[in-house]
Amino acid sequence: MARRKTSLLASTPELIAKKRDGGRLSEEEIRCLVEGYVDGSVTDYQMAAMAMAIFFQGMTPAETTALTLAMRDSGDVLDLRSVKGTKVDKHSTGGVGDKVSLCLAPWVAACGVPIPMISGRGLGHTGGTLDKLEAIEGFDVDLSVRRFVSQLKRIGCALGGQTARLAPADKRLYALRDVTATVESIPLITSSILSKKLAEGIDALVMDVKVGRGAFMKTHEDARALARSIVRVGNRAGKKITCLLTRMDAPLGREVGNANETREAFEVLNGGGPEDLIEVTVALGIEMLRLGGVAKTRAQARAKLDAALRDGSAIRKAEAIVKAQGGDPRVVTEPDRLTIAKKKVVVRAAKTGWVTDIDAREIGLSAVALGAGRTRADQAIDHSVGITIDAKPGARVAKGDPLATIHHKGNGKRIAPRIAGAFVIGRRRPKETPRIIEIIRR
């Protein structure tokens, strides 16, 4: 639908100066800036200057909401009113070994909540959901709007990527922030995340805000501030939002890569999988069922999730999604069908003791070096390579015991010392720490 071009009384340089000096921009001024950036009347260097001004001066909740909605409206906004039920999505700020979406989406959809999930690709040391889905041969993430909505109606879940017409202002602004040192701004992060999510036409969102060395937000305080900003702006935009703060010091689960992470996610739907992965997936699923209106209490939500796993409906939902999007549905119950690199290098403990810590960022960067990730958006990746964590924090190891297994195409020995250096082995068993740090609903 065509939108009326917003008129502006002040020039772009005046608005940059206003924000630079700590002033507040009006909704009209922000909308005009975003519209101008999309149509070219506001240049890259002007928007870069504005981003830097926002980085230093911040934005009020009203300004952040206005920026979020303007970027949402810079392109298409999906109309999901024809889909029955409360549409709920989940988003993660990114982590190492974070394959939660692959098992969470079909699991929650099997409980009766429609899941329109538009995800991204990995960049840097964190992986991307689309790359993991494409480890399934034939799986198509490039769904048209018509196909996306049709599948959501028919199956209750669709997993796709961002189209060029979905929040295009955010796509351009994010690329600009990435090269102008203005990424670490809570108002800009908030508007970037929510503009894309609101353009999906969702009713509610559950956010997984990662905290720790392997996460974008390194401290609890910064993660809490981001979570509160997302909840506040989402509520102002008329959406129900819940944020979970989860630990990302060590990798989540045992697998890091693409095919091997997809395999591990399907193991969860088959009743297996590592405890930490299950803990985070269930916690997010509980909040999605509550926001989706199919459970009033945490106990009811947990019971529904358990039932969907027990009666096989979660597996059947995953099979239906994979089949609808061109993949072989047999991979859900037979995850070993996914192709894993055959060459292996085992990283062994240099001494006896307890694994007290694993540096998630180093593991993630090692996976990128293997070819499982990318440092530029246009890079191709190898879905078959990756790392299996054989000894998680809290494990007792003897000298020579396996710490990790590298699945590679020829460069495993070169990367092995870096992976070995990510493990800390101490004399005492570390205290167990829950993955869920805090739940923020307002």
Mind spelling out the 3-state secondary structure of the chain?
A: CCCCCCCCCCCHHHHHHHHHCCCCCCHHHHHHHHHHHHHCCCCHHHHHHHHHHHHHHCCCHHHHHHHHHHHHCCCCCCCCCCCCCCCEEEEECCCCCCCHHHHHHHHHHCCCCCEEEEECCCECCECCHHHHHCCCCCCCCCCCHHHHHHHHHHHCEEEEECCCCCCHHHHHHHHHHHCCCCCCCHHHHHHHHHHHHHHCCCCEEEEEEEECCCCCECCHHHHHHHHHHHHHHHHHCCCEEEEEEEECCCCCCCEEECHHHHHHHHHHHCCCCCHHHHHHHHHHHHHHHHHCCCCCCHHHHHHHHHHHHHCCHHHHHHHHHHHHCCCCCHHHHCHHHCCCCCEEEEEECCCCEEEEEECHHHHHHHHHHHCCCCCCCCCCCCCCCEEEECCCCCCEECCCCEEEEEEECCCHHHHHHHHHHCEEEECCCCCCCCCEEEEECC
From the candidates 192, 195, 229, 384, which is the catalytic residue? 192
Of the candidates 297, 194, 171, 170, the one whose C-alpha atom is nearest the C-alpha of residue 243 is 194
Q: 121, 131 in Cβ contact below 8 A?
A: yes
90 is catalytic: no
From the candidates 31, 196, 254, 263, which is the catalytic residue? 196
220 is catalytic: no
Take residue 34 and report the two structure tokens written for it. Answer: 């975003």
399 is catalytic: no
From the candidates 170, 276, 382, 390, which is the catalytic residue? 170
364: CB partners within 8 A, 6+ apart? 96, 124, 125, 126, 127, 214, 251, 256, 373
From the candidates 19, 91, 197, 383, which is the catalytic residue? 91
196: CB partners within 8 A, 6+ apart? 72, 118, 162, 166, 167, 170
Exposure string for 341-372, b = 16+ CB within 10 A, e = fewer? beeebebbbeeebbbbbbbbbbbbbbbbbbbb
From the candidates 121, 132, 171, 177, which is the catalytic residue? 177
170 is catalytic: yes
What are the catalytic residues?
Answer: 91, 170, 177, 192, 196
